[in-house]
Structure 1
């Protein structure tokens, strides 16, 4: 039985925050010390490394579940299915619903349940639950949905990835410029004529790597000691990703018995432009090849890193012709890949 993606949808928030908007921020070191370089220099170096020029923030009245609902509506419409036929709704996120101006994440009820409520689905056999797997959460949700369908427990699944990272960032941390908000979704069905998952692979590295991404207090020594923000060890994450992700992708591809020469696109987590370029370059070197041009579409420049939402947003926009010089055609072989908190890695080899 072929199991494939029959519809996609995404939602990019309307508030655009450009790099220049950070010129008046008070960035501090981990010990609370001031930087010797002005913000203009910090921002210039930041953009050179990450590729990010702007990012999207959600309007105050919208929460992560709202973004997921908006993306889900589009995916359901795109697939042309009756929402009452959904067997599972899987919502991948990391922080739940964080209300604008509040400091707590809310996961009671689950975000998947909230989306089901917003969709007004009456079918009680449609099971809704959340996935916590770091940035690779949406891909892992697709892998789980495939398992449900393969086992006969489901026919149609909705998988969502969404986040409002703008509400869990420390304004005094330079890394705050990386993060953004957004949501992407897909419908997965059995006996699909729209595509097929060929192979998948997942890993968790937690022997020393578990806390490369973590929660901690602000860098402002006079700030609230009890409020926690997303923090990361950027150098360790970069080295980890460049070391482990290429081999994980290769392991997944090798299981498919398909040649690397067939790969048309790699939809990789939009985390850091230079890091992603290094990962793909090392991936092709494992096969003794140079990286083909246009194999790795990037939209991080205008989207920023919205964690679990990056891959489904990227895939949706390319499917619908919204990314210049990139597209997919029926029969193309593509790879989905991600890395993030855990430290988790996963990949899917997909025949479009």
Structure 2
């Protein structure tokens, strides 16, 4: 028995926030000092490093559970299954429902329970739970779904990755420009056909690295409120990712039994274009193999970093031909890989 992705769907918000929209922002260092650089220079440096030109934000009336439902309906329709046959709904997110007029997170009941409710699923044997695992949450949820299916506990699992990071960013922190909103959903099912998830690897580096991404007050010292926002030690994360992520990817590929030359595409978490390029290049260097052109589709230029949503939305866009056409054939091998808060790393080798 294998485990395959049989349905994919996504929700990409319509509201576009361009880099130029941040020209009037006053950015501060983590020491509370305002940057001397002119805003246009800050934006040019930001775009050069991250590759981001614009990002998407949800409309005010939507929450992350709302957009997860929209993506899930598409995935279920694509899978051509009755939602009552779902055995698990696994919802990867990190900040819960945060309304546009509030800075308070809301995760009671769980977002997975809210999705099941909005999908009007009556089956009580459909278990719904949330996955809090940083940006690698969707990949890890797929690994969970595989385990349930292979153990005979499930036949169909709905796996969601969704986030509204625009609701938890400090407008006075340059890193706020990285983050975006979005939702992706997939249906994983048991199959007698060859292929599917062939191998996976997961690591959690917490001894020194657990607080590389954290929550803290605004960098603007004139703001006295105790509200906290997502923060990160960017240089530490960059060095960590380049050191550890390629090794985890190699471990996953080696365990799958496939050769590096067989990898057709790598769908990596869209965190930072420069960092992602370096990770994949180092991965290929571990095999003394030249990185093929076009092996890593990128959506970060227009969609930004939507955390757990970046891989499933990117994958859905690719399958729908947004990158020039879906050219996957039976037997093709691809990889999903991610790194994020925790610090967590994971990867999956998947065969069509």
Which TM-score band (shorter chain)?
Answer: over 0.9
> What secondary structure sits across from 2:314 in the alignment?
helix
Give 2:75's aligned residue: 75
Q: Distance in 2 between matches of 1:324 and 1:267?
A: 16
Note the alpha carbon deviations across 1:127-155, whole angstroms, 9 max, x for none. 00000000000000000000000000000
Counterparts of 1:152 and 1:180, CA distance in 2: 37
Q: Work out the CA distance in 1 between the residues paired with 2:238 and 2:278.
A: 9
- CA distance in 2 between partners of 1:68 and 1:19 (Å): 26
Partner of 2:152: 152
Q: Is the 8 A contact 1:61 1:100 kept in 2?
A: yes
Aligned residues: 352
Instruction: Give the gaps of 5 or more residues in structure 1.
Output: none
Alignment of 1:155-234 (within 5 A): 155-191=155-191, 193=193, 195-234=195-234
Equivalents in 1 of 2:300, 2:209: separation in Å?
25
Q: Residue 14 of structure 2 aligns with which residue?
A: 14
CA contact (8 A) 2:319 2:325 kept: no
Counterparts of 1:119 and 1:333 in 2: how far apart (Å)?
A: 33
The residue aligned with 1:243 is: 243
Distance between the aligned counterparts of 1:193 and 1:61, measured in 2?
Answer: 42
| Of 59-68 and 326-335, the range deviating more from structure 2 | 326-335
Contact kept in structure 2, 1:88 and 1:158, CA below 8 Å? yes
Question: Considering only aligned residues, what root-mean-square deviation do their CA atoms show, in Å?
Answer: 1.0
For residues 272-313 of structure 1, the C-alpha deviation after alignment (integer angstroms, 9 at most, x for no partner) is: 000000000000000001110010000100000000000000
Structure 2 residue 277 is matched with structure 1 residue 277? yes
- 1:81 CA drift (Å): 0.4
After TM superposition, the score normalised by the length of structure 2 is 0.98
Once residues 327 and 315 of structure 2 are traced to their aligned partners in structure 1, the CA distance between those partners, rounded to angstroms, is: 9
Partners of 2:55 and 2:327 in 1: how far apart?
23
CA distance in 1, matches of 2:89, 2:321: 26
Is 1:49 the equivalent of 2:21? no
Q: Deviations over 1:69-100 (max 9, x none)?
A: 01000000000000000000000000000011
Match of 1:105 in 2: 105
* Displacement of 1:224: 3.3
1:34 is aligned to 34
**What does residue 330 of structure 1 align with?**
330
Contact preservation (8 Å) 1:197, 1:349: yes
Contact 2:334–2:351 (CA<8 Å) still a contact in 1?
yes
Structure 1 pair 35–195 and aligned structure 2 pair: CA distance change class (3 A): same
Question: Which residue matches 2:142?
Answer: 142
Is the Cα–Cα contact under 8 Å of residues 4 and 194 in structure 1 kept in the other structure? no
